[in-house]
């Protein structure tokens, strides 16, 4: 679903296998930051530290997430257009100490559907709001949530529908 995919037995946002690849991996302990498919994470953020997020920004096509596209689109497009290296990123607001963390992820070669990007962002947001961020580290729970959320018809304002899916799955 968008930049989220099952890699082995864990879910990840971003593609660590592409040039200078970077991704966020959801584990039982928290969200790990990996580069170039390295086995050891660069950083781990424990689930109890999450106040808000993770929130996902992503552009539909990989070329839009390049530095050159960011410059070009910023010059000629309106300010609402997402482009450049931050066009595929994960943002989290953490506690103890309180801080904003924004990490760029590598866009996959495949195209992301705007519908999937919107639904993924709502899934992550509503899971954290339900005080269930730790469930994102459970591959079976997240797999079932992704399956149900991807089947939703309404994706322009998915918060209510996604919230119902999360409540039904249990926290």
Mean pLDDT by groups of 10 residues along the chain of 171 residues: 91 84 92 82 92 83 61 58 70 91 86 90 93 95 96 83 92 77
Total-model pTM: 0.85
**Residue 140 to residue 7: CA distance in whole angstroms:** 13
Q: Are strands 30-35 and 22-26 parallel, antiparallel or unpaired?
A: antiparallel
From 137, 45, 58, select the one nearest 100 (Cα to Cα). 45
Task: Provide the number of structural domains found in the chain.
Answer: 1
Query: Which pLDDT belongs to residue 58?
Result: 81
Question: How far is the C-alpha of 98 from the C-alpha of 48, rounded, in Å?
Answer: 12
Domain housing 41: 4-169
Q: In what order do the strands lie in the sheet with 88-94?
A: 50-58, 88-94, 99-104
Q: How high is the pLDDT of residue 81?
A: 59
């Amino acid at each position: 679903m968008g930049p989220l995919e099952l890699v082995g037995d864990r879910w990840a946002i971003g593609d660590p296998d592409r040039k200078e690849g970077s991704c966020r991996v959801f584990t039982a302990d928290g969200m790990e930051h990996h580069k170039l498919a390295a086995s050891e994470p660069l950083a781990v953020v424990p689930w109890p530290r999450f106040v808000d997020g993770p929130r996902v920004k992503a552009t539909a096509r990989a070329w839009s997430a390049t530095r050159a596209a960011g410059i070009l689109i910023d010059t000629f497009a309106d300010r609402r257009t997402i482009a450049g290296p931050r066009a595929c990123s994960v943002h989290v607001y953490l506690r103890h100490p309180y801080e904003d963390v924004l990490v760029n992820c590598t866009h996959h070669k495949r195209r992301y559907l705007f519908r999937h990007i919107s639904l993924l962002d709502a899934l992550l947001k509503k899971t954290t709001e339900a005080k269930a961020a730790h469930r994102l580290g459970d591959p079976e729970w997240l797999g079932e949530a992704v399956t149900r959320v991807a089947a939703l018809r309404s994706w322009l304002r998915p918060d209510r529908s996604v919230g119902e899916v999360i409540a039904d799955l249990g926290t």
